[in-house]
Structure 1
Amino acid sequence: MMVLDPELRAIGGNGTGGARAEELAVLEAVGQRVLWLSTAIIDHANRVRPNPSGLKVGGHQASSASMSSIMTALWFHALNPEDRVSVKPHASPVLHAINYLLGELDESYLTTLRAFGGLQSYPSRAKDPDPVDYSTGSVGIGATAPLWGALARRYVEGRFGGAGKGRQYSLLGDAELDEGAIWEAIQDPMVPSLGEAVWVVDLNRQSLDRVVPGIAADRLQGMFAAAGWQVISLKYGHTLRELFARPGGEALHARIDAMDNPEYQRLLRCSAEELRERLPGTGSTAGPIADLIAPLDDASLLAALRNLGGHDIGALTDAFDSVDDTRPTVIFAYTVKGYGLPTEGHPQNHSSLLTSDQMRTLADRLGTDPDRPWAAFAAGSPEAARCAAAAGRLHRPEHAPQQVPEVPADLARPAPTGSGNTQQALGRVLLDLTRRAPEAAARIVTVSPDVSSTTNLGGWLNKVGVWSPAERPNWFADDAETILHWRERPTGQHVELGIAETNLVGLLGELGTTWSRWGQPLLPIGVVYDPFVNRALEPWSFGIYAGGQSILVGTPSGVTLAPEGGAHQSITTPSLGIEQPGCVTFEPAFAIDTEWCLLAALGNLGRPEGSSAYLRLSTRPIDQSAADVPGDPAARERRRRQVTAGAYRLRRHERPVVTLAAMGALVPEALAAADRLAALGHGADVVCVTSPDLLFRALQARRGLSRDPSWILDQVFPADRATPLVTVLDGHPHTLAFLSTVQNTPVTTLGVTRFGQSGSIEDVYRYHGIDTDSIVAAALDLVD
């Protein structure tokens, strides 16, 4: 029987003579070691390491195997030091195997996958001990992150320098293309110009539970092409292409092309004898196909069926070398899930694990010792030399961190009087910073999904301009009726995206990592309608997890935008900061409080110990004199410290019998209720809560459960003034319910628990039971 050239079958590629053949042979050997190491890392975590609880550990051997060749070709051939890679979550063991071969991961960590303090289940910038460019794990979000990373790099390079160039790679599974975040990102107007973006789709046609019956790769490729991307399809390797060129090859090519995914996967599970029977199919082409494969020995036949482009090192290196850097590129690399493992192609192999016997058989086939699973390549071998050369090539110099310019704690403006709202204060503070603290203001970059003018960023935008990679003409510059001046230029400090909150927070997260990537800190602020914060929460949370420090502003908020009704209300957002690690939430009531909270949030960005912030703002006009800001400098500073610590006592009665704790837009109702209660003979203190998050942390600290400061509790809720408590806010009442535990007092919590209605503020507040009457009634129930 005919045997296909073993070198062609093993390494594929176009052209196998001389130096090229040697290079591909070495890369193939490195790839086999990567496959072994990634499989062994998972095996040790599940079969070798003690597991007293018996809880499943997992690790995805099959998903890792399908990526081994792709990642080998990328790291050991294509990558440059300034390139960055987002690795699909289930291929994290492959990344760790590669880092080990590059000398970036100590051998002791190879036994710690999914162990406490060890290698994380999915790549993590913050928690893994080896280099990880992008945290992944939430499907679709890690894949799109390099797009926003590319924009962040361009922004830093254009304004401050030092970010260099480099490609931004995404390695993603084909099932991730089901995620809407993918397509929201692809169609954003900013993306088509990102020539440094390269996506590689691991097209193994399997999801967690099954073989995907109609993945429609041609349709997916067409969607990318329509969005302006270069599309490269790596469907078949060199061995199959060689067969296609022989007599009967066109029939085999057409047969495999027309075959649906489940049938192809089933053929992968066949013996050579079964394959000779099934592969030709039926009809007029069955004979030519049978004649074509008849001379092949069994091993060659089985290998040929598996010779897809995503496992062909030669095809992969050629693809990486042919990327067009003038536009984004997507490479559809056809693969077999579990490639090279006994479980390859099985529809339920996603969570399967190799047995001890299977591991020994695999080790024998790959030329490794199962009793010394972490052995490195022999010194002086071509493979060891290749690893050393790649390590040297990919060495990334560290960027000296630039200190964040000081953000003033107080702009020293007189406290506003008259009517105003917190959303207006946002725009005014940003403009004031350009005059009072220009160095800090130069680091601010705002991001908005087409709501700049409606969230009071117009003045800021007119001042600093809109960021664009290249200057664009402003055709309305001479239009006297145009108030918003849309000047697009590389020096602009506002980035305008399409209407997709996921894109906004994705970019926000990457802008917030520039301090750790290139040593250039930015102060990113994203503005979004508060009702849609929940839509943006997952990717923003993931950005925080990955080290991105930013400020998310939700405005307008709550049922206070009464005429707009239930579709635009936000109920649960006030408690997000309590529940979101790495973030502080603020909901100020007055313009001066907004200023102080925003400045405090900006001062926490762009540093190793920094944190993100969420500001919930309102468009409700409020009498600013009600803030009663002290005129004495020391008293004013005391008030500022209290505001940025979570709360302050706004009204202090001589003999209080009840305390009204209100937040944000509901403070006027609390003050009015206090006046009415006083007229009824019931003294009421009024506490203005600016951050339920910080108050909760203070409470935890007082109980010894954290190291946060707790002094604010003694100043705002002293024991000698402990009274029954009524809490009220434009959001879910549970947000402030914990305040009763500060002094263990009775409490009634008022807030929004139902979908809203359109109407006046008075009608809507009454409907939800957060109006003045409801506050008075709740207080009387507690004290009368």
Structure 2
Amino acid sequence: MNITALSYSPTTPAALMTTPAALIESAERDIALQQIEKRVLWLATSIVHHANKVRPNTSGVKVGGHQASSASMTTIMTSLWFEQLRAEDRVSVKPHASPVLHAINYLTGQLGEEYLTTLRQFGGLQSYPSRTKDPDAADYSTGSVGIGSTAPIWGAMSRRYTETLTGCPNRGRQYSLVGDAELDEGAIWEAVLDASVQDLGEIVWIVDLNRQSLDRVVPNIAAGKIEKLFDAAGWQVITVRFGRRLESLMARPGGDSLRRRLLEMSNPEYQRLLRCAADDLRQRLPGAGVDAAAIGALIADVDDPTLLAAIRNLGGHDIDALRRAYAEIDDTRPSVIIAYTVKGHGLPLEGHPQNHSSLLSVEQYEQLAASLGENAAAPWSRFTVDSAAGLICTAAAERLERPTIQTSAPPEVPTDLGRTPTGIATTQAALGRALLDLTRVAPEAARRVVTVSPDVSSSTNLAGWINKVGVWSTEERRDWFDDDRETMLHWRERPSGQHIELGIAEVNLVGLISELGATWSRWGETLFPIGTIYDPFVERALEPWSYGMYAGGQSILVGTPSGVTLAPEGGAHQSIKTPSIGLEQPECLSYEPAFVVDVEWALLAAMGQLGRPGGKSAYLRLSTKPIDQKLAAVPEDPAARERRRRHVVAGAYVLRAVDQPAVQIATMGALVPEALAAADRLADQGVAAEVVCVTSPGLLFEALQARRGLGEGPSWILDQVFPVGRAVPQVTVIDGHPHTLAFLSSINNVPARNLGVSGFGQSGDIDDVYRHHGIDTDSIVRAALDVKI
């Protein structure tokens, strides 16, 4: 099946409406839509007003909200929801327009009146659209500028990927409503420019070009520059500059001069015109250029109300202009509609340079009510069901009603692949080996695995896996090196492939795996997304990945290679703080395995958490350091092996036990050989040292919190690995910041020395670098002798 042949079938507004709404005459429908637009503006403004001016505020802290940012979006969102959207479409709403979304959901019966007074209240409407926390429907969580805007790109890609599993087309447009200042975020352009995006014709962005940011009118926001950037990326660009009133004025003699004047005018100068009374506007609008006389003559015979209305009649506030723009979308490539708007449109603070966070006063709110024909004392009215506006709202609700998602249980993931490696190996290489073994042991689970890399597939040891499963593409492409005997990594691109390769942009990687990890709740198809990334760059990707978890995405991120163990690469490629990420990141497991079998057990445990209510994401920190796998001393007895596995996935196990320990060395990952060597040397001095291999500091900390009544969950692992009856002074050592393991001593309140990396790294061989940071065997021995005194 060539899924790229499928396209979005545009429909006319009338065809989108069910009877009797479809019987409404065109002119009557436009009037009704304008009524809906005004009601949406009123409700969105009232939601923020009530939260700040009506609801009691006992703390004195400003509640906040964005009335002006909402106002610039009311026409765009009214035209989308009440004419264009289908049930299969999805929309990412710009963060500061959340009140508009709630107003629309209220008018279509998706949100109860009791919630309209709860904006930013505990348990109420969230500050920004939230897919998991709002009481009404939000397709995408937004709020972190730039991330929510790009999410529909990765949503489109993940949706297409599920089509390859089911064989059934499951396509709808993926809209993103973006503020123009949001385009300053680098994440926007990283996503727009990725080569894989050009085939996704269902993507439609609408840029709210209001020329303002939080602090000011931005002088250099230029539609022309934005158009060129999107066009260069291969997107279809549709610009909606002016509405019907302004276009009709420009159709008169002298109109070409007015058009040139407005297009060449700076953003601040245009915004100033919006604050002018009619007499002042007539003085300022012609300017001092060669077109001044023609413009002056043009507007001389225009009455004041018409002139004032026309100058602010931009395309983003004209439903018919927007309707024509939607009709131009060709659905063969991503499209962007650049819609000129006015921030605060229709409000008393319209066009003011500092209106971003401004709130209407009570007096201004009452004036707005009078101008819109609303009741300030009873603001939450809907349209009567038999009115034209009411019929359109009912029709929209029926058209946008979605079937209940039937979620099926994820395929069973085994807990053990049955191998016991004995040679020299790295934890990084173990990842690809485990995925290949999974295709043999559990093919149904393996079919749901999708790996993603930002151009680091081969250097993160996925070559064997990619050769086995192929590379996902919207269509099959020829591998021109397939017959080259010296080519070890075969790049076979086809719709059935299970690896997705992106460009070098970590934000794109985590955005995609987050959306792949949400398909179980979006469309009832479970995937096991695994992204590989160089560990030093996990921090670069952390905020968008964290936001993906907040939005309900469940995925696995593998950081490799890690730590100063990557000695020759130097400080720029040596991660220091990443071990604490898993300790601190909500809804995320973390593992730093020391051995190949630990990697397999941790990976399978992490996969077993994906694609289900209450599931968690996972972060695995792996290394390229070769380690003798016999040091793992994996028990041969099946019951003892299973006990070891349970300890590994619970956070720690005793790697070397002694009868009466004098000191305990707790280590993690690549430093296990140094810890074992230190224990041997201490034994030669008559000091019995027990060695504990920590696999997950985060799970151990959760267990400790639970034991203290500060959290929920099991704490048995502490009794097994850190029993109070064997409590002794402790040394912790880690290839990362020492605070990650420093809390272990508080389990039994023992003296401790915490070794780790707290400064930037530098190039060298491992011995020199370890010695420099004080994590070598000598340092461990000295610390053990010191703490034991």
TM-score of Structure 1 vs Structure 2, range by shorter chain: over 0.9
8 Å contact kept, 2:385–2:394 = no
**Distance in 2 between residues matched to 1:315 and 1:22, nearest whole Å:** 17
On the 8 A contact 2:29/2:388 being kept in 1, the answer is no
3-state DSSP class of the match of 2:35? Answer: helix
Query: Is 1:118 paired with 2:124?
Result: yes
- Alignment partner, residue 418 of structure 1: 423
CA contact (8 A) 1:585 1:693 kept: yes
1:427 counterpart residue number: 432
Partner of 1:650: 655
- Report 1:497-508 matches (<5 A): 497-508=502-513
- Give the whole-Å Cα distance in 1 for the aligned partners of 2:432 and 2:493: 19
**Is contact 1:505–1:539 with CA below 8 Å preserved after alignment?**
yes
CA distance in 2, matches of 1:324, 1:29: 30
For the structure 1 residues 515 and 133, does the alpha-carbon distance in structure 2 shift closer, same or farther, using more than 3 Å as the test? Answer: same
1:249 equivalenced with 2:249 (yes/no)? no
Matched residue type, 2:739? H
Q: What do the CA deviations read for 1:753-773 (whole angstroms, capped 9, x no partner)? A: 111111111011001100000
Which amino acid is 1:557 matched to?
S
State how 1:491-570 maps to structure 2 within 5 Å. Answer: 491-570=496-575
2:613 to 584, 608, 612: 608
**Structure 1: unaligned runs, 5 residues or longer:** 1-17
Deviations 1:327-350 (A, max 9, x none): 100010010000000000000001
Conserved? CA contact 2:450–2:499, under 8 Å: yes
d(CA) in 1 for partners of 2:190, 2:777? 43
* Unaligned stretches of 5+ residues in structure 2: 1-23
Q: Which amino acid aligns with 1:311?
A: H
How far apart, CA to CA, are the structure 2 residues paired with 1:418 and 1:252?
Answer: 79
- Equivalent in the alignment of 2:729: 724
- Give how far 1:161 is off: 4.2
Amino acid at match of 2:336: V
Does the 8 Å CA contact 2:450/2:530 hold for their aligned counterparts? yes
Decide which of 393, 398, 414 is 1:392's aligned counterpart: 398
| Matches for 1:593-604 after TM superposition, within 5 Å | 593-604=598-609
Say which SS state the counterpart of residue 542 (structure 2) adopts: helix
Q: Deviations over 1:98-155 (max 9, x none)?
A: 0111111011000000000100000000100101100001110111110000000000
- 2:243 equivalent among 237, 240, 249: 237
The answer as to whether partners of 2:153 and 2:174 remain within 8 angstroms in 1 is yes
Q: 2:687 aligned with 1:669, yes or no?
A: no
The aligned residue for residue 315 of structure 2 is 309
Q: In structure 2, what residue type is equivalent to 1:761?
A: I
Matched, 1:748 2:753: yes
Asked if 1 retains the 8 angstrom alpha-carbon contact of 2:634 and 2:641, the reply is: yes
Query: Which residues of 2 match residues 40-119 of structure 1 at below 5 A?
Result: 40-119=46-125
Letter in 1 for 2:254: G
Q: How far, CA to CA, are the matches of 1:19 and 1:225 in structure 2?
A: 38
User: Deviation per CA, 1:454-492, whole angstroms, max 9, x where unpaired?
Assistant: 111111111110000100011111111111111100000
Cα distance in 2 for partners of 1:680, 1:642 equals: 30
Match of 1:80, as an amino acid? R
Q: In the alignment, does 2:719 pair up with 1:739?
A: no
C-alpha contact 1:153 1:163 (8 A) present in aligned 2: no
Partner secondary structure for residue 198 of structure 2: helix
Residue 85 of structure 1 aligns to a residue whose secondary structure is strand
2:452 to 444, 447, 451: 447
**Pairwise CA distance, 1:248:** 1.3
Give CA-to-partner distance per residue, 1:49-107, whole Å, 9 cap, x none.
Answer: 11011100111000000000000000001101100000000000000000111111011
Assess if the C-alpha contact under 8 Å between 1:163 and 1:518 holds in 2: no
Q: Hey, what does 1:201 align to over in structure 2?
A: 207
Contact 1:78–1:321 (Cα < 8 Å) also in 2? no
Structure 1 CA distance for aligned equivalents of residues 659 and 674 of structure 2: 20
Residues of 2 paired with 1:283 and 1:229: CA distance? 35
Distance in 2 between residues matched to 1:455 and 1:143, nearest whole Å: 29
In structure 2, what is the Cα distance between the partners aligned to 1:562 and 1:420?
Answer: 18
Whether the 8 Å CA contact 1:162–1:518 is kept in 2: the answer is no
Work out which of the residue numbers 460, 480, 492 in structure 2 matches 1:487: 492
Q: Partners of 1:552 and 1:589 in 2: how far apart?
A: 17
RMSD between aligned residues? 0.9
Q: Distance in 2 between matches of 1:463 and 1:399?
A: 32
CA separation in 1, counterparts of 2:634 and 2:697?
21
**Amino acid of the residue matched to residue 682 of structure 1?**
V
- The answer on 1:334 being equivalent to 2:345 is no
Counterpart of 1:358?
Answer: 364
Corresponding letter in the other structure for 1:127? K
CA contact (8 A) 1:74 1:320 kept: no
- Please list, as runs of the form range in 1=range in 2, the aligned pairs for 1:135-284 lying within 5 A after superposition: 135-161=141-167, 164-284=170-290
Query: Displacement, 1:367?
Result: 1.8
CA distance 1:162–1:544, shift in 2 (3 Å): farther
Could you tell me which amino acid in structure 2 is paired with residue 409 of structure 1? T
Distance 1:198 1:672 in 2: 59
Taking the aligned partners of 1:723 and 1:163, their CA distance within structure 2 comes to: 62
- Aligned AA for 1:60? H
Letter in 2 for 1:112: T
Is the 8 Å Cα contact of residues 82 and 396 (structure 1) preserved in structure 2? yes
Partner in structure 2 of residue 583 of structure 1 = 588
Describe the superposition over 1:338-368 as per-residue Cα deviations: whole angstroms up to 9, x where unpaired.
0000000000001111111211111121121
Give 1:162 shift: 5.3
Cα separation, 2, equivalents of 1:366 and 1:476: 67
Identity, % of aligned positions: 69
Match of 1:774 in 2: 779
Structure-1 separation of matches of 2:67 and 2:169: 36
SS in 2 for 1:111: coil
CA deviation after TM superposition for structure 1 residue 22, in Å:
2.3
Q: Look up the SS of the partner of 1:193 in the other structure.
A: coil
Letter in 1 for 2:700: L
Contact 1:513 1:548 in 2 (8 A): yes
Deviations 1:481-531 (A, max 9, x none): 111111100000000111111111110000000000000010000000101
> Does the Cα contact within 8 Å between 1:208 and 1:350 map onto a contact in 2?
yes
Corresponding residue of 1:10: none
- Checking the alignment, whether the CA contact within 8 Å between 2:28 and 2:388 is kept in structure 1 is no
C-alpha separation between the residues in 2 aligned to 1:163 and 1:588? 40
> 1:163 & 1:283 partners in 2: Cα distance?
57
Letter in 2 for 1:703: R
Does the 8 Å contact 1:80/1:394 carry over to 2?
A: yes
Number of aligned residue pairs: 766
CA contact (8 A) 1:674 1:685 kept: yes
Give 3-state SS (helix, strand or coil) of 2:754's partner: strand
Paired residues for 1:613-692 under 5 Å: 613-692=618-697
The alpha-carbon deviation at position 284 of structure 1 amounts to: 3.4
The amino acid across from 1:615 in the alignment is L
Partner residue in 1 for 2:442: 437
SS in 1 for 2:195: coil
Q: Which amino acid aligns with 1:423?
A: Q
